[in-house]
């Protein structure tokens, strides 16, 4: 599959980040670095995406262009390394996320992901204009771009790793290479405070808490959630209490409604 087409395919993404493990398959083509024609060291990039095929394609493509990418799993299974440990073990210099964004729980998950390593430069590539969703990402320190090719991703990843801030991004301001932030900030301000607060509260959930909440949104009960996640029912009940407390709601029905109402927000 053509790499740029695979990146564009993220427009049909599901409502959560889905990634492969930290070790991906290898392309049969030799990278410029392997041929001795590329840079002596490539930027170490942690890559996540909302479609598995997109992540695999981007990892292979960046590797072929001389970078050193590895897949990042924001939702590790019990017993697997946490996001912070993954980022530390791969010594990531830049985090890269490819996702279709809106003001919903996927945005909240991405904000949580960035918070796991806030000093790491993050590049968020969206196949379509992310609208209002770009505003809180920029506030969290991420650089948001639209419809980038693999070559452009590699170029921007290198610039972020080197701390190369262009003149249009003075210190303390977000880098806005595609000019999306002015409109995004206006749209974000136009949202109700309830919607903005819902995103903030959801962004405080851990990966395990998101798994439990996702199961509830899909209609699973405690028993079904425990079976699907490989957890004890008592553990699911404990996690559910944590979710309700962080969301500021009284019961699971209100938690599900909060997510569903956020997903129904028109794209701005």
Please write the tens of the pLDDT for every residue from 118-168. 899 999 999 999 999 999 999 999 999 998 899 999 999 999 998 865 544
pTM above 0.95, yes or no: no
Give me the residues paired with residue 95 across strands: 46, 122
pLDDT value of residue 163: 84
Q: What is the DSSP string of 190-247?
A: HS-HHHHHHHHHHTT--HHHHHHHHHHHTT--HHHHHHHHT--HHHHHHHHHHHHHHH
Q: Which residues contact 227 (CB under 8 A, 6 or more apart)?
A: none
Which contiguous run of DSSP H or E holds residue 111?
Answer: helix 105-115
**Per-residue confidence band for 266, with pLDDT thresholds at 50, 70 and 90:** confident
Examine the pLDDT at 86 and tell me if it is beyond 90: yes
In total, the chain counts a number of residues equal to 268
pLDDT value of residue 70: 96
Residue ranges of domains in the chain, CATH in brackets = 3-187 (3.40.50.280), 205-263 (1.10.10.10)
Examine the pLDDT at 264 and tell me if it is beyond 90: no
């Amino acid at each position: 599959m053509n790499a740029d087409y695979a990146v564009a395919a993220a427009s049909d993404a599901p409502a959560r980040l889905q990634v492969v493990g930290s070790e991906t398959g290898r392309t049969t083509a030799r990278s410029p670095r392997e041929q001795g024609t590329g840079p002596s060291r490539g930027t170490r990039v942690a890559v996540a995406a909302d479609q598995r095929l997109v992540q695999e394609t981007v990892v292979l493509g960046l590797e072929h262009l001389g970078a050193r990418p590895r897949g990042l799993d924001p939702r590790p299974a019990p017993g697997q390394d946490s996001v912070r440990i993954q980022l530390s073990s791969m010594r990531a210099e830049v985090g890269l996320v490819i996702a279709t964004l809106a003001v919903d729980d996927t945005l909240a998950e991405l904000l949580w992901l960035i918070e796991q390593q806030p000093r790491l430069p993050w590049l968020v590539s969206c196949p379509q204009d992310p609208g209002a969703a770009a505003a809180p990402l920029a506030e969290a320190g991420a650089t948001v771009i639209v419809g980038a090719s693999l070559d452009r991703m590699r170029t921007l990843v290198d610039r972020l790793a080197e701390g190369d801030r262009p003149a249009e991004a003075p210190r303390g301001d977000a880098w806005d290479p595609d000019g999306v932030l002015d409109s995004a900030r206006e749209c974000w301000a136009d949202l109700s405070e309830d919607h903005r607060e819902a995103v903030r509260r959801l962004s405080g959930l851990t990966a395990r808490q998101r798994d439990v909440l996702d199961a509830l949104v899909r209609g699973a009960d405690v028993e079904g959630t425990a079976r699907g996640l490989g957890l004890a029912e008592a553990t699911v009940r404990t996690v559910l209490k944590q979710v309700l407390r962080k969301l500021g709601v009284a019961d699971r029905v209100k938690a599900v409604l909060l997510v569903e109402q956020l997903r129904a927000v028109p794209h701005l």
